Amino acid sequence: MEITRRTIPVGALGAGLAVAGLIVYSLVPDRLWLVTLLEGSALVCLIWFFANYFDRLKTFSAQRSTRMGANSALMVVLFMTILTIVNFLGARHSIRWDFSENQNYTLAPETHRVLRNLTRDVSITVFTREKDPGYQAYKERFDSYRQASPKLTIQFIDPERQPKVAQNYGITRTDIAIFESGPQSVRITSPAEVEITGALIRVSKDIKKRLVFLEGHGERSLEDKDRGGLALTKELLEKQGYDIGTLSLLQESAVPENTAVLIIAGPRRALTKEEKDRIRVYIVKGGRLLVLVDPDTQAGMDDLLDTWGLELGRGVLVDLQDRLAQGDLTALLVRTFTDHEITHELTAAVLFPLTRHLTFHEDKGKDWDYVPLARTSPRSWAETDMKGRVVSYNEKEDIQGPLALAAALTPKQAPEEGKPRPAVVIVGNSSFASNGFINFVGNSDFFQRTVGWLTEEGDLISLTPKDSAVRPFIPNPLQERILLYVQVILLPAMTVLCGLLVWRKRRRL
């Protein structure tokens, strides 16, 4: 059966669409939807023509005097055209699979939200050499980002081959990535996802939300690099795109209006009445407050917290179940969380050393919604006498658990349209956010989620590093005893018993 004039245009149409797609891509490369439509249609036409008229093409070719090579050439041209279109579409719409143990190259949902919400293009320049250890890590990481967003432009520059470009950027070392967007410029020195996404957030915003730490009462210092300071915490927040500052209400008459969150981190001395009144006014106007209060301190926060129906409990929390194995009874490894935006899908335990509990009085806080974020286990209590350090539950003096040690409050009545809604978060410990503990996965996760909820920036919630595939198992005392009995007693005993049974059975033979 011969090829008719009706069948020839199908192949010609496919070839024409393929050429048209290439022309459109060369002229307007940003119109990928149109290029994909043209090339996809061409692929369908050519495959249909090739599959349905293969035998007829052979017959048609055999009727020509130029039989030698004509048939093969026609088949090769058609086949190569199809392969070219498939490769083009695959390059523009590639699919990547991540088979690494910890899904190191799969972007977190928070990162995808940040990429979707980018309002302007971001140019990223990576200064590295192919032989440098960071080159491959940057390349693989940015491939995932580039696939997720068309707004990213990424280029790799070898500072040795292009020294003038490196000099213009002030580059003195390799493995540095510079993010540029509008007037903003941010540098990172690590290809970790938390670093890259934090840089994208900072560089895409002209105005950063300001976090203000209260000072003047012995609070933990943002400049202190010792275990008890907040230098690492400050660095963590800055990487997340926040503007960090300090405030003394002894010198200022009010909390500045541009304050997104006021943080009181571990005060050792009492706040004055004037300071508390200024904080109350700030909350009434829609402000957001984070209070971290340690046990056995003279912070004098009782009357301020009483405004929202909260009371700081006496003593120090002790937990026989949820605590650090082989650690102090007061080193709590909290695993029980309430379903709240802050703690939603929070799976890592949070280490709270030396913590006090919180009590909510509904009669005083009737206008506020109270949510206990974290609780101790039923095998816990508030120890009121720690002088002898011989900790034991006293039914008459101590308070039986489970007890709340962190809570969030929001007003029951919605604010007027256009006005911000106030919020307060109280944690009965401040050292969990200090340099000595903030690198603990659960601690940094919980702290970032809390700040993210208070600033109403959900994009930043729970964006934690995935650099290590190691997942250490930290048993509580009960799990530790079970492991001891199983590994040291039960398994050896079973081995000996099996050996005796085999020996006895062979002896009888």
| Tokens 């659960």 -> residue | 442
Condensed to tens digits (0 to 9), the pLDDT of residues 419-472 reads 888 999 999 999 999 999 998 878 888 898 898 889 875 444 555 545 444 445
Six token digits for residue 246? 């300090």
Six token digits for residue 185? 């410029």
The arithmetic mean of pLDDT across residues 3-9, rounded, is: 54
- What lies within 8 Å, CB to CB, of 181 at 6+ separation is 120, 121, 122, 123, 203, 204
Q: Is the pLDDT of residue 222 over 60?
A: yes
More reliable by pLDDT, 302 or 99: 302
Any domain includes 104: no
> Which pLDDT does position 467 carry in this prediction?
47
- Verify that 279 and 402 share a domain, yes or no: yes
DSSP secondary structure letters along 258-287: TEEEEEEE---SPPPHHHHHHHHHHHHTT-
Instruction: Give the range of the structural domain holding residue 168, as residue numbers without chain letter.
Output: 109-193
What confidence category does residue 29 fall into, taking pLDDT thresholds of 50, 70 and 90? low
Q: Is the pLDDT of residue 117 over 70?
A: yes
Q: Is the pLDDT of residue 61 over 70?
A: no
| Tokens 């912070």 -> residue | 299
Domain C-terminal end among 57, 92, 127 = 92
- Verify that 144 and 27 share a domain, yes or no: no
- Verify that 303 and 256 share a domain, yes or no: yes
CB atoms under 10 Å from CB of 443, counted, come to 22
**Percentage of the residues of the chain whose pLDDT score is greater than 70:** 78
Prior bond to 402 cis, omega within 30?
A: yes
More reliable by pLDDT, 63 or 433: 433
Where would I find the H helices in 162-286? 163-168, 193-203, 231-239, 273-284
Measured distance CA(316)–CA(484) in Å, rounded: 29
Task: Give the domain CATH number at 237.
Answer: 3.40.50
Measured distance CA(500)–CA(503) in Å, rounded: 5
Q: Is the pLDDT of residue 100 over 70?
A: no
| Tokens 């994208």 -> residue | 200
CB atoms under 10 Å from CB of 413, counted, come to 10
- Verify that 401 and 479 share a domain, yes or no: no
- Verify that 159 and 256 share a domain, yes or no: no
Q: Is the pLDDT of residue 95 over 90?
A: no
Contact, 187 vs 176, CB < 8 A? yes
> Which pLDDT does position 449 carry in this prediction?
84
- Verify that 375 and 232 share a domain, yes or no: yes
- Verify that 115 and 148 share a domain, yes or no: yes
Measured distance CA(491)–CA(484) in Å, rounded: 10
Lowest mean pLDDT among 125-139, 280-294, 298-312, 447-461: 447-461
- Verify that 146 and 88 share a domain, yes or no: no
The arithmetic mean of pLDDT across residues 335-346, rounded, is: 83
Any domain includes 371: yes
Any domain includes 285: yes
Task: Give the domain CATH number at 174.
Answer: 3.40.30.10
- Verify that 113 and 150 share a domain, yes or no: yes
> How many independent structural domains does the chain possess?
4
Measured distance CA(83)–CA(60) in Å, rounded: 24
Condensed to tens digits (0 to 9), the pLDDT of residues 490-501 reads 888 888 888 888
More reliable by pLDDT, 4 or 357: 357
- Verify that 124 and 165 share a domain, yes or no: yes
Q: Is the pLDDT of residue 373 over 90?
A: yes
Q: Which of 494, 58, 424 is nearest to 264 (CA)?
A: 424
Q: Is the pLDDT of residue 84 over 90?
A: no
Q: Is the pLDDT of residue 58 over 50?
A: yes
Domain C-terminal end among 193, 224, 258 = 193
Any domain includes 465: no
Q: Which of 216, 222, 255, 258 is nearest to 238 (CA)?
A: 222
How far is residue 26 from each of residues 68, 82, 88, 154, 215, measured CA to CA in Å? 37, 19, 13, 20, 59
Any domain includes 103: no
Q: Is the pLDDT of residue 489 over 50?
A: yes
Considering the chain, what is the average pLDDT of its residues?
Answer: 80
Six token digits for residue 163? 């020294």
Measured distance CA(171)–CA(178) in Å, rounded: 10
- Verify that 51 and 116 share a domain, yes or no: no
> Which pLDDT does position 233 carry in this prediction?
92
What confidence category does residue 77 fall into, taking pLDDT thresholds of 50, 70 and 90? low
Any domain includes 201: no
Q: Which of 217, 208, 308 is nearest to 259 (CA)?
A: 208
Measured distance CA(190)–CA(141) in Å, rounded: 11
Q: Is the pLDDT of residue 96 over 60?
A: no
What confidence category does residue 60 fall into, taking pLDDT thresholds of 50, 70 and 90? low
Where would I find the H helices in 93-185? 109-116, 133-148, 163-168
Cα 244 to chain centroid distance, Å, stands at 20
Measured distance CA(203)–CA(216) in Å, rounded: 33
Any domain includes 352: yes
Dihedrals phi, psi of 485, to nearest 5 degrees: -65, -40
The arithmetic mean of pLDDT across residues 284-296, rounded, is: 91
| Tokens 């068309």 -> residue | 150
How far is residue 161 from each of residues 123, 175, 191, 240, measured CA to CA in Å? 20, 15, 22, 33
3-state SS, residue 300: coil
More reliable by pLDDT, 327 or 212: 212
- Verify that 382 and 247 share a domain, yes or no: yes
At 51, which amino acid appears?
A
Condensed to tens digits (0 to 9), the pLDDT of residues 229-273 reads 999 999 888 876 688 999 999 888 899 988 999 999 999 999 999
At 509, which amino acid appears?
L
CB atoms under 10 Å from CB of 192, counted, come to 18
More reliable by pLDDT, 281 or 173: 281
| Tokens 């398994």 -> residue | 491
Six token digits for residue 105? 């190259």
Six token digits for residue 251? 């010198």
Q: Is the pLDDT of residue 301 over 60?
A: yes
The arithmetic mean of pLDDT across residues 16-38, rounded, is: 72
Q: Which of 165, 164, 104, 161 is nearest to 132 (CA)?
A: 161
Any domain includes 502: yes
More reliable by pLDDT, 322 or 374: 374
> Which pLDDT does position 440 carry in this prediction?
86
Quick one: DSSP state of residue 65?
S
